Structure 1
């Protein structure tokens, strides 16, 4: 399994007169939603109180496998996980290849309730 990427042209925001450079950008290869994850987990374990830990481990394993396959993982109201890439820039689309990728990361886009949490936070300076 592999995460797919494509060349993406970007201008230098500090000097827009410079020519565009091309960067590797991750592209999603399908989606996995909460219902599909629940179905996959149901085949691996039962959901009883004593199995709650096993269910959480199975969820983690399924999220990892889906991200490894380049999919977006949608966890309903919780939010979405996706792989993101950073790469070196090159002058042409044809020059973009996997060796230019310098960093990969897991992006999390929180759902509405989690985003609302940020607006309701209070802050206190540590002493």
Structure 2
């Protein structure tokens, strides 16, 4: 197995007059949805596809609920999820307010096994 990539040109955001450079960008080769994951898990276990799907949907809901409470959600060997934010800088701590928040995101930190996948993955340039 190998992850496909392509060359994409990008501008330097700090120097818009600089010539564009090319960078490698991973290419998604399809997608897998919850239905497919439920079927795959069901085929590997004694649990029905419907049961797997129900568990995955409940997992998603509970991850969202716990993130909304400001918690880190640890999924054992899989990894953990946490809310992250970006904000504008302020001169004092008192000047930092909700209006300074520019963007929010969900950070995922993979577990050791998933992280080690990146050490072993091979890449293939798409023509």
Shorter-chain TM range is: 0.5 to 0.7
Which residue of structure 2 aligns with residue 68 of structure 1? 68
Say which one has the larger Rg. 2
* Structure 1 unaligned residues grouped into runs of 5+: 1-47
Moved over 4 A (4+): none
Which residue of structure 2 aligns with residue 121 of structure 1? 121
Q: TM-score by structure 1 length?
A: 0.62
Q: 1:51 Cα shift?
A: 1.2
Q: Distance in 1 between matches of 2:79 and 2:63?
A: 12
Which residue of structure 2 aligns with residue 94 of structure 1? 94
- SS at 1:54's partner residue? helix
Cα RMSD of the aligned pairs, angstroms, is 1.3
- SS at 1:51's partner residue? helix
- SS at 2:121's partner residue? coil
* Structure 2 unaligned residues grouped into runs of 5+: 1-46
Summarize the alignment of residues 1-127 of structure 1 with structure 2, pairs less than 5 Å apart. Answer: 48-49=47-48, 50-127=50-127
Paired residues, what number? 81
Q: Distance in 2 between matches of 1:125 and 1:51?
A: 39
Q: 1:71 Cα shift?
A: 0.4
Q: Distance in 1 between matches of 2:96 and 2:123?
A: 44
